[in-house]
Amino acid sequence: MINYIPLLKTVPLFFDIEANDLSELLNCLSAKIKTFQTQESIFSEGDSAEFVGIILSGEAQIVMDDYYGNRNIVASLTVGHLFGEAFACADVSILPVSVIATNETIIMQINYKKIITTCSNCCTFHNKLIYNMLRIVANKNVMLNQKIDVISKRTTREKILSYLAIQAKQAGQNSFSIPFNRQELADYLFVDRSALSNELSKLSDKGVLHFHKNTFELL
Amino acid sequence: MINYIPLLKTVPLFFDIEANDLSELLNCLSAKIKTFQTQESIFSEGDSAEFVGIILSGEAQIVMDDYYGNRNIVASLTVGHLFGEAFACADVSILPVSVIATNETIIMQINYKKIITTCSNCCTFHNKLIYNMLRIVANKNVMLNQKIDVISKRTTREKILSYLAIQAKQAGQNSFSIPFNRQELADYLFVDRSALSNELSKLSDKGVLHFHKNTFELL
DNA sequence: ATATATATGTTGTATTTACAACGAAAGTGA
DNA sequence: TCACTTTCGTTGTAAATACAACATATATAT
């Protein structure tokens, strides 16, 4: 656990909490560390929504499958990312999504009730944790709105350009990499992969953008 | 202000706070009451994201306009609803959306900093407010995920059925009303209104559902 | 009651997409 | 190196959509 303190200090959930206090706090929260192999379920749809997780190493994806078996990538998770917090904080008892490890992945698992229930030892931290959690959930909220803004576009072309424009803005330059391969980008945009490739080719032909693998340049 | 205490007691932001304390708390928060006419902007895109609002009477919509002028209805707001909280709680300084009154509407406006900054008078309430806010933001988060789940469907038919299935589940029965007219439903689902009407007619012909105005019945 | 405005349903067409099938390219492991 | 797998681009076709234009129905005001 101690080994992860430097990483955990960078996690937004523990923002403004000193490294010295963090170790004690983790004990107080009964934080557990678990390891998962590639494709293994960290959380499964239908599980009780009482835990939040933090990626300590590896990668994972939050996915939602519909009736027809189409897998919808809700988000990609990398080191330091928090997941499950929205459902734990909301009036939701059962998880409607799964979290799947895409590599060998180590996570820290915390029971949400431990976060919001003050205790005799370290209750001074709890309010700070709740406040941090609020910022985190609100930021995810904003990101979800942003995603809705992207996928609300009617055509594949508009979705692509809308998504890439946001990525370029976040990168601060016209050349940038995205965290998806073609299939994952297609899933994120809710379009067909081949149609996506097709449209990317057309955009490249028209000189609107250049791309190579997952690196793009808007012109 | 006093007149609205009974209503405010039912607002989730003030959950678990006694009516007696509420009046004092509102003073402490420097809550302001404002009135807007139909189509008037309560918040405008580009405004500073420092306020949260509560609908005291009337109706409003959170809308987002894209480059092409397409207006996207992010949400409909009725009495008791809170708005602006996600942006106020997140690391967002400027509002990316507008809030428009769809009727004569009275709102209560609170500076978010007043909520999270403890004061000498009523700081015992602040932690409770933050905790309530967390639940609210997390619930909105879940709703946004739900909306993404609906609009991620590839065809208008699937979007309609997905949306109506959720509404039926929330209503607890197969017959229910929705808070949208055709155009608003089309905007929510990000499809063409006439295509929506067309598809609804087909579904009705096939005996999948019945509808009259904004009342639907799944068969 | 009548005129007017608003909301909703219908139809045809051009555009766009999903889907399937295939081939090329790049990566992986023996 | 070679076989094998995964990823990506391309093409054709059937299906679905957006859009426009119009018809019908409902609501509202005078």
Tokens of B84: 């602006």
Residue A19: enclosing H or E segment and its boundaries? helix A19-28
Q: Return the higher-pLDDT residue of B156 and B39.
A: B156
Residue B11 phi/psi, 5-degree rounding, is -80, 130
> pLDDT tens digit string along B82-104?
999 999 999 888 898 899 888 88
**Nearest by CB to B86, which of A131, A142, A147?**
A142
* Model confidence band, residue B25 (pLDDT cutoffs 50, 70, 90): confident
* Model confidence band, residue B203 (pLDDT cutoffs 50, 70, 90): very high
- Residue whose Cα is closest to the C1' of C21: A194
pLDDT at A20: 84
CB-based contact A162:A153 (threshold 8 Å): yes
pLDDT at B146: 87
CB-based contact B144:A140 (threshold 8 Å): no
pTM: 0.82
Tokens of A65: 């499958």
CB-based contact A111:A48 (threshold 8 Å): no
Contact A133 B131 (CB under 8 A): no
**Nearest by CB to B89, which of A91, A96, A134?**
A134
Contact B116 A133 (CB under 8 A): no
What single-letter amino acid sits at A157?
A: R
Counting beta carbons within 10 angstroms of the beta carbon of residue B23, is it exposed (0 to 12), middle (13 to 18) or buried (19 or more)? middle
- Lowest average pLDDT, out of A161-170, A182-191, B58-67, B95-104, goes to B58-67
Q: How far is the CA of A205 from the C1' of C23 (A)?
A: 21
Tokens of B158: 């699937």
A154 touching B (Cβ < 8 Å): yes
pLDDT at A90: 92
pLDDT at B68: 47
Chain B partners within 8 Å of A125 (Cβ): none
Mapped onto helix, strand or coil, the DSSP state of residue A123 is helix
Please determine, for residue A126, whether its predicted confidence score (pLDDT) is greater than 90: no
Please determine, for residue A69, whether its predicted confidence score (pLDDT) is greater than 60: no
Residues whose CB is less than 8 angstroms from the CB of residue B3 and which lie 6 or more positions away in sequence, other chains included: none
Tokens of A58: 């590896």
- Residue whose Cα is closest to the C1' of D15: B155
pLDDT at A19: 84
* Model confidence band, residue A115 (pLDDT cutoffs 50, 70, 90): confident
**Nearest by CB to A135, which of B90, B141, B147?**
B90
Q: How far apart are CA A66 and CA B166, in angstroms?
A: 13
pLDDT at B124: 67
- Shortest distance between the Cα of A135 and any Cα of chain B, in A, equals 5
- The 8-class DSSP code of residue A3 comes to G
A44 touching B (Cβ < 8 Å): no
- Shortest distance between the Cα of B89 and any Cα of chain A, in A, equals 6
The secondary structure of chain A in percent helix, strand, coil, rounded to multiples of 5, reads: 45, 25, 30
Contact B149 A66 (CB under 8 A): yes
> pLDDT tens digit string along B117-169?
766 555 567 778 888 999 999 999 998 888 988 998 888 998 999 899 888 88
**Nearest by CB to A141, which of B130, B135, B140?**
B140
Chain A partners within 8 Å of B92 (Cβ): 142
pLDDT at A59: 86
Q: How far apart are CA B88 and CA B148, in angstroms?
A: 22
**Sheet strands (E) in chain A:** 32-36, 41-43, 51-57, 60-65, 71-77, 82-83, 98-101, 105-111, 175-177, 209-212, 215-218
Determine what percent of chain A is predicted with pLDDT higher than 90: 40
Please determine, for residue A120, whether its predicted confidence score (pLDDT) is greater than 70: no
Nucleotide nearest to B158 (CA to C1'): D16
B143 touching A (Cβ < 8 Å): no
- Shortest distance between the Cα of B104 and any Cα of chain A, in A, equals 27
Cα pseudo-dihedral B42, B47, B50, B52, rounded to 10: 20
Contact A96 B190 (CB under 8 A): no
| CA-closest candidate to residue A141, choices B147, B50, B137 | B137
Tokens of A54: 């933090």
For A125, B28, B129, B209, the CA distances from B123, given in Å and listed in that order, are 17, 9, 10, 53
Determine what percent of chain B is predicted with pLDDT higher than 90: 43
**Nearest by CB to B135, which of A89, A141, A144?**
A89
- Shortest distance between the Cα of B121 and any Cα of chain A, in A, equals 18
B89 touching A (Cβ < 8 Å): yes
CB-based contact B23:B1 (threshold 8 Å): yes
Q: How far is the CA of A98 from the C1' of D3 (A)?
A: 36
A2 touching B (Cβ < 8 Å): no
* Cα separation of the two ends of chain A: 47
Chain B partners within 8 Å of A91 (Cβ): 135, 139
Tokens of B202: 């087909």
Tokens of B198: 């067309």
Q: How far apart are CA A145 and CA B1, in angstroms?
A: 33
* Mean pLDDT value across chain B: 87
B64 touching A (Cβ < 8 Å): yes
